[in-house]
Amino acid sequence: MSVRHERSHPADRRVRLQGRPVDSFPALPPEAERGSVRRVTVVGEDILNRPCQDVTEFGSPQLSALIDDMFLTMYVAAGAGLAANQVDVDLRLFVYDCPDDYGVRHVGHIINPVLDLPDPGSRRLADDYEGCLSVPGASMVVPRTDRAVVRGLDKDGNPLVIEGTGYFARCLQHETDHLVGHTYLDRLSTRDRKDALRQMSDRSEDVFARRVIRAAGLGR
């Protein structure tokens, strides 16, 4: 998911790492410092169109390395979230570094996520622009609920419950969609989908060029 900056609020604004507040956290997480850049898949590739497989082995060096690579790839692509199938890996996993509507930064990863949304009677939809690293250069208005909870596991198999509001709730929904084989284009009308694909055609080369520059800036 593409990044967006949000307004501040006088509440507790400490960074939430894996859902828990921490007193300090670096701009570039240690995972990204260890990672390598991977190619981001683009809409139309088969891996983005099918449900991903559950992660069944936890605590492995391979899983940790994948998370490291996903974090760095997300920053190089200027994203707020990234799912495993966006780096051509068929696993139910995503990483995120996303602000909510109060300016609170949320950072982490979650494996085998299950999305819980408010009941229809208490659900409030918010219309806002949404982008995707796999639809480079496009941005369209997508309705999403303004609250969401994702339940899953961390890389060691420990349970996680991540709650999001506002833009972070949008991010959680967007990334969970990826893992069931959907992009935000699937939520658009035929007309808006064509508009998004035209935007991608017009702007993707510039997006890719900026990613190369950011990768060089990070020494990758």
Nearest to 108 by CA among 202, 19, 5: 19
Residues 6+ apart with CB under 8 A from 147: 117, 118, 124, 163, 164, 165, 169
Residues 6+ apart with CB under 8 A from 216: none
Q: Tell how far CA 36 is from the center of its chain.
A: 18
Q: Of 33, 57, 175, 205, which one is the catalytic site residue?
A: 175
Do 87 and 37 form a contact (C-beta atoms < 8 A)? no
Task: Say whether 175 is catalytic.
Answer: yes
Q: Report the DSSP pairing between strands 81-83 and 93-99.
A: antiparallel
- Identify residue 191 by its one-letter amino acid code: R
Nearest to 18 by CA among 163, 125, 166: 163
**Cα 114 from Cα 190, distance rounded (Å):** 28
Q: Where in the sequence numbering do the catalytic residues fall?
A: 175
